[in-house]
Structure 1
Amino acid sequence: MTNRTSRDGKTILITGASSGIGEATARHLASIGHRVVLGARRTERLRTIVEEIRAAGGVADFHELDVTSLESVQEFVRVARRAHGRVDVMVNNAGVMPLSPVHELRIAEWDRMVDVNLRGTLHGTAAVLPMMRAQGAGHIVNVASTSAHRVDPTAAVYCATKFAVRALSEGLRQESLEVRVTVVSPGFTATELTLRGGSEEARAAAKAATEALAIPPSAVAEAIGYAIGQPVEVDVNEIVVRPTAQG
């Protein structure tokens, strides 16, 4: 099958696209005719995903990306713009979640969450906002969490970063007349977030809850696709997607 191009499709950049919600979002959006550009550090994984999307008839590219570096994010955007002429949507999805009680003082992990979850979202926003304002249109989708709505033990710092992403999104929405802003807050989702870092006990508890409750990342991808697919005069500001059984 030859690669499909769609005049009606949008050019969509996705951070943290090598697995989980980012990968599922790239696959879903490409399947409905959008042009997707995937960014992450694991370039071999990105290459495989892009090849599979292209084999299915989609339009996809990838570029190595470290969201903690503004220069890396700016280059990611430049590459996408050179390839496709414009950028219509930025999905700020990259995130990490090493859980632990505050008293354990895992400061390096705190810094990592601030750098990836919050600073990465700021970098993604800064890299596309001037261009979108100049275009007179654009859409920034920030992936937060149900942890942006509640605080749980062992998740205090993670929640703090996601509360901040939600606050940033709402502030940006209020300032924006042409650029749409959506914050998507997933609940327990089957991703790699629970597999790395944090205390062993907290990691095990999160993994067990995820295995018992988790929705597939495709459910979140479809919610993102819904927000992106609305008419330009409709701004879907906030979506919460979680398992029915999640309290």
Structure 2
Amino acid sequence: MSTEPTSTRPTSSKTVLITGASSGIGAATARQLAADGHTVVLGARREERLAALAREIRADGGTVSHRPLDVTDASDVESFVLDARERYGRVDVMVNNAGVMPLSKLEALRLDEWNRMIDVNVRGLLHGIAAALPVMRAQRCGHFVNLASIGAHVVSPTASVYCATKYAAWAISEGLRQEVGDIRVTTISPGVTESELADSITDPVGKEEMRVYRRIALPASAVARAISYAVAQPDDVDVNEIVVRPVATM
């Protein structure tokens, strides 16, 4: 099966901001949406990875810019959004993708890792909303695409805190959708996906659980295509949630 981006030919080019864009779903989404004809603005901590991805997108004819971004810093996220608006005149889509997943059983008491997940997966999402919502309100249109997880729907051993953060992402997104009538909100809940998320697992039990669980995984491009579908809908159509996971079962 090809994992190359396939253009959905949107009716108009949009300015799309993507957090956590240096790898995995974020990078695949950047490639896909650039192939669709959108302008993509990339943010992540690893600037060298962003630069390489931006060169790849430009070589394929896409329009892209990038800057380092720490989603746990509210002022940094605000600058990321305002810089994009100043450069391109508007912010049409905010893809809140940045996330971490250092799994472990609760009895391991890895408080630092729990707090890191809360900071990135929950506060990072809230910072993205806080930065982009005033801009979209002023435009009277916009679109949030927030990455949750199948972990927002099903809890598994070693994933209690991670699943809690992703349920929070789902709940925040649903609340936002109900509050903002003129702004679209889409929650993407991927099943197990090929990415670097598992690289953050330091607990040996959690690492082994994930190794077994990841024997069947989606390519990140499959999630990117789901995001592309939601973004490509007419302005009066809001795709509220997409759950996407592999066909095969364990």
Residue in structure 2 matched with residue 173 of structure 1 by the alignment: 177
Shift of 1:198: 3.7
Corresponding letter in the other structure for 2:114: W
Residue in structure 2 matched with residue 189 of structure 1 by the alignment: 193
Paired with 1:246 and 1:26, the residues of 2 have a C-alpha distance of 29
Is 2:177 the counterpart of 1:148?
no
Residue in structure 2 matched with residue 3 of structure 1 by the alignment: none
The structure 1 residue matched to 2:62, chosen from 58, 63, 67, is: 58
**Structure 1 stretches of at least 4 aligned residues deviating more than 3 Å after TM superposition:** none
The structure 1 residue matched to 2:222, chosen from 201, 219, 224, is: 219
Residue in structure 1 matched with residue 86 of structure 2 by the alignment: 82
Is 2:14 the counterpart of 1:28?
no
Paired with 2:182 and 2:211, the residues of 1 have a C-alpha distance of 40
Corresponding letter in the other structure for 1:168: I
Residue in structure 1 matched with residue 5 of structure 2 by the alignment: none
Secondary structure of 1:213's partner? coil
The answer as to whether partners of 1:98 and 1:194 remain within 8 angstroms in 2 is yes
Shift of 1:7: 8.7
Shift of 1:8: 1.7
Shift of 1:141: 0.5
Supply the RMSD in Å over aligned alpha carbons: 1.2
When normalised by structure 1's length, the TM-score is: 0.95
Paired with 2:211 and 2:84, the residues of 1 have a C-alpha distance of 35
CA 1:56–1:181: 2 relative to 1, 3 Å: same
Secondary structure of 2:40's partner? strand
Is 2:118 the counterpart of 1:117?
no
Residue in structure 2 matched with residue 42 of structure 1 by the alignment: 46
The answer as to whether partners of 1:195 and 1:207 remain within 8 angstroms in 2 is no
Shift of 1:13: 0.2
The answer as to whether partners of 1:141 and 1:182 remain within 8 angstroms in 2 is yes
Secondary structure of 1:38's partner? strand
Secondary structure of 2:75's partner? helix
Shift of 1:23: 0.1
Shift of 1:197: 2.8
Shift of 1:203: 1.0
When normalised by structure 2's length, the TM-score is: 0.94
Paired with 2:67 and 2:81, the residues of 1 have a C-alpha distance of 9
Corresponding letter in the other structure for 2:182: E
Residue in structure 2 matched with residue 238 of structure 1 by the alignment: 241
Consecutive unaligned residues of structure 1, counting only runs of 5 or more, are: 1-5
Paired with 2:11 and 2:231, the residues of 1 have a C-alpha distance of 16
Corresponding letter in the other structure for 2:146: N
Corresponding letter in the other structure for 1:117: N
Per-residue CA deviation, residues 69-98 of structure 1 (Å, 9 max, x unaligned), is: 001101111221121111000000000000
Paired with 2:227 and 2:239, the residues of 1 have a C-alpha distance of 10
Secondary structure of 1:161's partner? helix
Residue in structure 2 matched with residue 102 of structure 1 by the alignment: 106
Paired with 2:244 and 2:210, the residues of 1 have a C-alpha distance of 18
Secondary structure of 1:141's partner? strand
Paired with 2:56 and 2:116, the residues of 1 have a C-alpha distance of 31
Paired with 1:43 and 1:7, the residues of 2 have a C-alpha distance of 31
Paired with 1:34 and 1:28, the residues of 2 have a C-alpha distance of 9
- Which shifted more, 116-125 or 189-198? 189-198
Secondary structure of 2:171's partner? helix
The answer as to whether partners of 1:94 and 1:120 remain within 8 angstroms in 2 is yes
Paired with 1:83 and 1:131, the residues of 2 have a C-alpha distance of 14
